[in-house]
Structure formats: C-alpha cells, structure tokens
Structure 1
Amino acid sequence: MAIDRDIEKDLDKDSDRDSDQTPTHQKSPWWARQYTFTGTAMGLVFLWLSMTPSLLPRGPLFQALVSGGSGAIGYGLGVLAVWLVRYMRSKDSSPPAPAIAWRVLIVLGVVGTALMIVWFHFWQDRVRDLMGVPRLAFWAHPQTAVMSVVVLFVLVEFGQLIRRLILFLVERLDRVAPKRVSAVVAVTLVVVLAIALINGVVVRFTMRALNNTFSAVNNEEDPDNPPPTTSLRSGGPGSLASWASLGNQGRAFIAGGPTTRELSAFNRAPATEPIRAYAGLESANGIKAAAELAASELEREGGLHRKVVAVATTTGTGWINEAEADALEYMYNGDTAIVSMQYSFLPSWISFLVDKENARQAGQMLFEAVSARVRTMPEGMRPKLVVFGESLGSFGGEAPFLSVNNIVARTDGALFSGPTFNNSMWLEATHNRDDGSPEVLPIYDNGRNVRFASRPEDLSRPADPWARPRIVYLQHASDPIAWWNPDLILSKPDWLREPRGYDVLPSMEWIPFVTFLQVSADMAVAVDVPDGHGHVYVRAVADAWAAILQPPGWTPEKTQRLRSLLRSGE
C-alpha cells in the first residue's frame, strides 16, 4: 500500500497530519484527517469499476473481495500519485482538500455506488440467465456492499500500518543519515522484512496447515468404494499397489467407470471389462518410481493388449475427469486401458503455485514409462496410444512433448480440456494462430492436426482436411482458468480486444488491475456453473474423442446418446 503522507516531512510534528495544519483543519471530520482526498476519490472509482461485467456469476463474498481489493488499489494509486507530484515539486506537503470537496465526493460516492449496484445487478442477471444459474436474491447486494467496505477498510488500514512503520524507521535513521537516504533505507528494510516474514513464517505455516488438511482428505476411504475384486484394477487381487495407497481420488477413479453390463447395453454387443491402473502418492517412493509402478500395473493387468491405451495426467488432488475416461470405454466397448498416477494431494490452484514442477514430471515420466513398454511390442500389435488431461492435468499431459509435431509423431491423439496459461504447446498454437482467428477459438496451421473447440460444431473449423493424429483443446470463452494471466494487471489481452466468446457478455472490458482481480475471483467459482461454461467440460468430451479416434462403427447417433450419460465425477 502506498504511503499517504510525505515521509520526508518534519517528524517532530504529528506525523499523521500534514505539516501545514490549521485549527480549521483540526475540526475536519475524522475521515478527512485519516485519509487523503485523492486516494479516497481514486479508491471510489476503482470500487465502481470492480462492479463491471466479468466472465462468470459471482456471489457476495467474492464480489466483496474484488471490490474491496480494487478500492484499496485505487486508494494506493491515488496516494502514490499525490506523493510523486509533491516529490517532483520538492514540496513537503500539500494543502488539505476543502470541506466542500469532501461533501461533493460523498454525494457522488453515494449516487455513483447506487448506480453501479444497479448495473451490477443487471449484468449479473444477464450472465446468470445465459448460463442457467439462479439469479441473486435482493439481499445479496447489501451483503456485498457491507463486506466490500470491510475488506477495503482492512486493506487500507494495513497500508496505514506499514506507513507508520516506515515513518518510525525514518525518524530513527534521520539521526545518522540524510532524510532522503533514510527514506530509501526505511522502505528497503520494510520490504525485506515483509518478504522474509512471508517466506519464512506465513508460507511455511500455511503450507503446513494445507498439507495436514488435504493429507487427511487424501487418506479418507469411502465405505461405498470397497477394494476391487478384479485383477484388472489397481488395488485388487495381485495389484502392485495397495488399495489404501491410491489416495482418495485414485480410489474413486478405480472404483468408477461403466460396468460391462452398461457397456453391453449401450453398444448392443458383449463388452470387455475396462482396465484402470493407478499409482498414488504412497504407492511408491517418488514420482519416477510411481510412474514405473503405474506402467507396471498397466502391463500386469494386460493393458498393452487392449485396442487403446490412454495415459491420463491428473489434477493436483489426483482427480481425473470421469467423462474423459468413461467416454473412451464406451466408444471401444471396454477394450481400453487407462493409466494414471497421483503427484500431489493439494487442489489444482494450490498445486499450480507449489507443485507445478511435479505435474510436469509426472506427465513426462508416466508417458515415457508407458511408451517404452508399447514400443517393445511388434508394430502391428501395438495399441493406440493417446493422452488426456484437464486443467493442471493438461499442463502435465503436454510435458512429454516439445511441440505439436512431437505429439503427432509419438501418439495416436490427445485431448486437453481447460488448459492453463502455462501450457507451452497451447500457448505456441494460440500465439501463432492463423490470421483472422480469435484467441478464444484459434485456428492453427489451417487445423491440420490441432483443433480448438468450445462446442461440438467448432470441431469442424476450418473446413480444411483434418489429418491424423488429431489433437483437441476444449476451452470455453468463459473459463477463467484458461484466460487468467498475470499480464492482465497491465496488459489488455487479445480476447478482450476481439469479439467476445459465445458465453461472455459483450460489455466486459479490460480495466488495469481490476480485470486481473475479477478473473482471479472467477477462478474460485469456475466449476460452479453448468456444463459448457466456465471450467466444466463434460458432454463435449464425447464429440472430441469421437473426432480424435473415429472408432470403428461409431456414429453421430451414438455420440448423442453418450453425451447424456457422461458425468465429470467432481
């Protein structure tokens, strides 16, 4: 938070007030003495801007965090602007704003905030209707207003606390150094202290608490998911990995999927029992060992002799989108083998910050272990080898491949849903997209091998021939996981320069700092919307796999029937 008084003024006087205070100023309202006029005005403007449209519907809590955070940033920028002007003019202080200015600001604040709440209500209703989400109740708006003020107050007061600490240090350093040197040294000391405190105490304590919490969740066993009785599933008879070691999400994956009866009924033919192999965090010592164990499990279960072997990279908790796995098994009537492994038990948004390297290593090592076993087979007897993953799993799924050409050369297809801004292949294809194609739905290399889709009909873009192997990226225009990027703070992205996607309001605009906070808050509710929006990918998976693999005897009618059966399992 910026310092709202010149730290170079005479500290023998009251450092909480301007040096040129008068008796009239002493009688000013408390807020005029505590806060700066310019900072307050800027904070108010930023608070208004925070209520403009974003990607997804938000409830009172997350909107309050966005509004309070935006207001605090605006206040800090206003204070910083005044300080810079004073510094450049070599002034120790600036005259206080007249009382009439504060009165006008208060009136404008009340009227402007009321109008922005109406606008917020309007666009929230529009985006909720667009996505089929219930509208906010009328009492949600006063809740949002109250919580926004609380968040704003806490953040600004925290900035005031930092300011007082700097002033205290300057006062002490002035005894042995010039004022300007004292100011620089004081600010540097506070920054270093803050970094040391955050890294040494806050992060360590937070990570310990998170590890303890999610480790307990990972070890929870669902009584409705007993160990499998078949040797074709990890944790079952003859398995190299114990049932308990698979972790919560691993056990759910192994216990899930369609039964042979369901597969037979769907395909109207006798089905084969699908193979699912999995290694948990506790199944082996380290990522490389877990990858080898999972590949050995696949081999033990006979997975290399199935028509399709799919290497799935999980999200942070070890979760796999059930729709992506089930669709493959339905399409090949169970003649499939899916192998995966866990590399963390933290949720994806935390893993993205602290376990990203683990996701990359897991994706790379698991694919290499499976690919090595497939290559030992006679070429004519090898199964189709495909890869898939969602969110952080798509990031890990890309890891074994340096480029699109590499994945084309080494696999029979790939499906990546909800990619992140760190997906290297996705970024390369998006940045080098064909002229005239939008960022939210790019066309790369005339769609020769890679296609981007938010809806099934997008898979036919462009009309040029689609060569094999095929790669599909499923991404919604309203998915904040795909479009969040630190560059949003100060840089306008192409997806907000171009016409908006089908499920994003045309009135959404880029605003420095504010849009970054809005999209960050949208990430927290990215899966709280129906399929086809946000970070929820279910029914379109059927169309994507059908286009990638084109299974023998598969028809569009089967795709439509399959769409209604799929669930994400989240």
Structure 2
Amino acid sequence: MASPAPTSAHTGRHLPHPVLVISVVVAYLVALHPGTLPRDAMTTTVVTTGVTALGAVIGMLLARWVSRRHGQPDGQTRRVVLGIGVLVAAGGAGLAVWWQNLIRAAVGAVPVGPDWWAGATLAPVAVVAATVVVPRVTAVIAAAAVALTAGLLTPASAGADEGQPLPRTVSESGTLLRGELSAPEFERPATRLVKTWRGADGLSARAVIVAVPTGSGWVDPAAVTGFVDRFGADVRILALPYADVPSWQAFISDDAAATESSIALVREVAEVLQGRPAGDRPLLVLYGQSLGAVGADAARTWLEDRHPGLLAETVLTAPPAETVAAESDSPRVVVANRTDPVIRWSLSSLWRPATTPDGTVLGGPRVPQVPWLPVISFLQTSVDLLAALDGPTGVGHRYGVEQAHWVTGLPR
C-alpha cells in the first residue's frame, strides 16, 4: 500500500528553526552596521563571521528552549521565515556595500573589491553552517582563529612612533625640549626640563607650549610644525613623558599619569612666568593629543584655579570621549576629525551617545552618518579603532599642522 504524500505542514521540517534564523539575521545586520571609516576585507570578515556565529549559537540555544515549551514549528513556518531571512540578509549586505563605498569615496579610498564581498557574505554563511552542523569542531577552530587574530588586530596606538625615542636625560631638538621618563616621579624631571628651557633662552620667545605627549611619549611632529609656523619659529615646546606604551594601554592601566605629569610641568612653568611682568613673558599654551589631551585639560583646570589669567590658550586634539571637561573658563579649542572613532568611544556610549565638549571644531572629510544605536554603535566604534591610524591626514586619528592653527585667542 502506497504511503500518503507528505503535506505542506510536514515538508520543510529539515529547515532551520525560525528562532535560529531570526537570531542569525539580526546578528548579521548588527555586524554590517556601518562605522565612519573604511574597513578592509580582513576586518570585515572577522567582524561579520564572529558576530554572526555568536548569533547562531544564541539562536540554537533559544530554539531548543522554545521547542521544549511550544513544540516544533511546522514546515510552512520554517520556509516562510527562512525565505524572509534570506531576503533581509541579502538586502542588508547590499546596503552595507553601498554605504561602505560612500565612506570610501568621501575619504578618497578605492571601492570595495571581491575580497570584501566574500568576507561580508560567503565567510559568515560558511561559519554559521559549520556552527549549526558541527558545533564542537567549529568551536575548537574558532578558538584557534581568535587567538591568532588577537595578535593581528590591536587598537590604534596614536603616537607609537619609533622615530622619537624617549630620553633618560633632558634632550633638545630644535624648538622641542623633551624631559626624561621617570614615572611615577615627575617633580624632578619637570624641574630639570624647565631649567633647560630657561637656559635655551625660552623666556625671550613669543610662546611656550606645554605639549602633553601620548602614552608612548610621542608628540605629533605635525603639531610641532604647526606651532613653529604659527609663532614664526619663535616658540619653545616642552614635553614631559609619563609612559612608554601605546596610549590605549596607558589609558587602561594608568591614565592618571598624564594628569600628574602635566600638572607637575605647568607648576614649574607657572612659577617662572609669574615672576616676570605680564608684557615681558612668553604666552603660555597647553596642547595635547589623544590621551595627552586628557593631561592638558587637567593642567588647564589647575592653572585656572591657581594662576588665573596666566594661560593664553588650550588646544586639545582628539580627546577620548567623556575624558575632558565640557566647558572651560579660559580660551580652549577641541580639534577633532569627523571620522575619528576615538572622540566617540567610551563605555558610556553603550547606552547613550557620546557628547562633544564646548569649542569643538570638526575637520576632515564629511562622511555619511548613521543614527546612534545602543550597544551596536559602541561595537562599530570599537571596530573603527582598529583602523583609526590607517588613513591620510584628516581621516580617522590622523591630524596635521591645522591643529596648531586653531589657537583662536592669540594674534596670528
């Protein structure tokens, strides 16, 4: 006797559970949510496959829980949800490529190529399929891949410049006077640096710039060039290192060192300047980039409280989000590229958009912006940090001589 033909309710039972499909598609769209910087093929592959695979794992767990409580969905439901999911994922991939090309065009980069397409589509499909079919084997392979990738993808370390080795004694290079690294003690290095500045005829210059370095002890040569141009080469720039690791490591381990070193240096400088008539002393300017901006703003607050009227201007370049005061009682300008993820990254951006301090001047190319979304925007900004130093001047965390030309309170 012939068996009855399967009904539409029973066909398609081999298809993925609707909960699994929804979880994978949502994770895939989260992974494709754009940032503000171009992404290379490798970064795109890692992000899309990693986030989508996580969505698959969560979906499998949720599908089991739903099936135990409500039973297995019929084949028709599986087919409909899978079909809609494929269409939504395909539309999201197409939109992501279009948006990526908009960003690339804005910053002068070439359009995405086949490797980018493959990383954004084929790689996630393969990993999700493997996760569902052979989850244990996939987990072992994924762990090895994460360990390998962790050594390749590191946050942007602004200032990790081997061309500026940190001195153990005070050194002079043109207009830039660099103190020795002697953390966590900053008083004696600051005293020796100021003594060198005075001996280099610093009190007769038009201006003295206290430049707070990045975590690696690096001072942006473009900023030095900008200040020299701004003051007609009649300027001295003082920099006191406080660490010799990339800024992001210093920020996590001991961001207070930037504050302590900058205050120690401005205390010594202020004592010297206060002993001279107002019309017979250099203009005092504070400057800091990245983590250095945090120290420079702390020094600004200290000077406003103890030596009001002594500080001419503060220039902060790309301070990390939520790390400097929202307002200033003395002239201050905050310089930031529109595409710089550093100015938007903070843990609080998980649940609210980052705010910009008063006096912020945005530069660099205009790129399309997407609305802020909780958690998702934080994730994408974190990914953007990986490539923050890969672009030309004006893109991401790269700045030029213009940062020193924003000193609005001083004569040009």
TM-score range, shorter chain: 0.7 to 0.9
**TM-score under structure 1 length normalisation:** 0.57
**TM-score under structure 2 length normalisation:** 0.76
**CA apart distance, 1:242:** 6.5
Return closer, same or farther for 1:99/1:476 CA change in 2, 3 Å cut-off: same
**CA apart distance, 1:548:** 3.5
- Partners in 1 of 2:402 and 2:28 — Cα distance? 38
Secondary structure class of the residue paired with 2:273: helix
Hey, what does 2:26 align to over in structure 1?
45
2:371 to 509, 518, 521: 509
Higher relative contact order (CA 8 A, sep 6+): 2
Hey, what does 2:219 align to over in structure 1?
320
**CA apart distance, 1:305:** 3.0
Counting only pairs closer than 5 Å after superposition, residues 127-276 of structure 1 correspond to structure 2 as 127-148=103-124, 241=169, 255=173, 274-276=174-176
**CA apart distance, 1:479:** 1.7
Contact 1:343–1:358 (Cα < 8 Å) also in 2: yes
Q: Which amino acid is the alignment partner of residue 537 of structure 1?
A: Y
Contact 2:217–2:244 (Cα < 8 Å) also in 1: yes
**CA apart distance, 1:503:** 1.5
Contact 2:316–2:334 (Cα < 8 Å) also in 1: yes
Hey, what does 1:177 align to over in structure 2?
none
Hey, what does 2:295 align to over in structure 1?
396
User: What whole-Å deviation, never above 9, does each CA across 1:185-226 have from its counterpart, x for those lacking one?
Assistant: xxxxxxxxxxxxxxxxx9xxx9xxx9xxx9xx88x6x6xx9x
Hey, what does 1:370 align to over in structure 2?
269
**CA apart distance, 1:285:** 6.8
**CA apart distance, 1:525:** 1.4
Kindly indicate whether residue 49 of structure 2 is the aligned counterpart of residue 64 of structure 1: no
Counting only pairs closer than 5 Å after superposition, residues 351-500 of structure 1 correspond to structure 2 as 351-402=250-301, 406=305, 409-425=309-325, 428-429=326-327, 470-492=331-353
- Partners in 2 of 1:96 and 1:364 — Cα distance? 66
**CA apart distance, 1:76:** 6.9
**CA apart distance, 1:127:** 1.1
Return closer, same or farther for 1:334/1:121 CA change in 2, 3 Å cut-off: same
Identity %, equivalent residues:
23
**CA apart distance, 1:481:** 0.7
Return closer, same or farther for 1:409/1:510 CA change in 2, 3 Å cut-off: same
**CA apart distance, 1:392:** 0.9
User: What whole-Å deviation, never above 9, does each CA across 1:226-274 have from its counterpart, x for those lacking one?
Assistant: x9xxxxxx97xxxx8176xxxxxxxxxx55xxxxxxxxxxxxxxxxxx4
- Partners in 1 of 2:187 and 2:267 — Cα distance? 10
Larger mean CA deviation between 40-49 and 67-76 belongs to: 67-76
Gaps of 5+ in 1: 1-24, 162-201, 228-233, 244-253, 256-273, 430-448, 451-468, 552-570
Hey, what does 2:4 align to over in structure 1?
none
Larger CA Rg, structure 1 vs 2? 1
Secondary structure class of the residue paired with 1:338: strand
Hey, what does 1:7 align to over in structure 2?
none
Return closer, same or farther for 1:154/1:289 CA change in 2, 3 Å cut-off: farther
- How many residue pairs are counted as aligned between the two chains? 378
Contact 1:51–1:120 (Cα < 8 Å) also in 2: yes
Contact 1:132–1:530 (Cα < 8 Å) also in 2: no
Kindly indicate whether residue 95 of structure 2 is the aligned counterpart of residue 119 of structure 1: yes
Secondary structure class of the residue paired with 1:400: helix
Secondary structure class of the residue paired with 2:37: coil
Q: CA RMSD in A?
A: 4.1
Kindly indicate whether residue 193 of structure 2 is the aligned counterpart of residue 331 of structure 1: no
Contact 2:341–2:388 (Cα < 8 Å) also in 1: yes
Return closer, same or farther for 1:402/1:414 CA change in 2, 3 Å cut-off: closer
User: What whole-Å deviation, never above 9, does each CA across 1:65-109 have from its counterpart, x for those lacking one?
Assistant: 4334543565577678789x98xxxx9745244455444444444
Gaps of 5+ in 2: 1-9, 138-146, 357-361
**CA apart distance, 1:135:** 1.9
**CA apart distance, 1:517:** 0.9
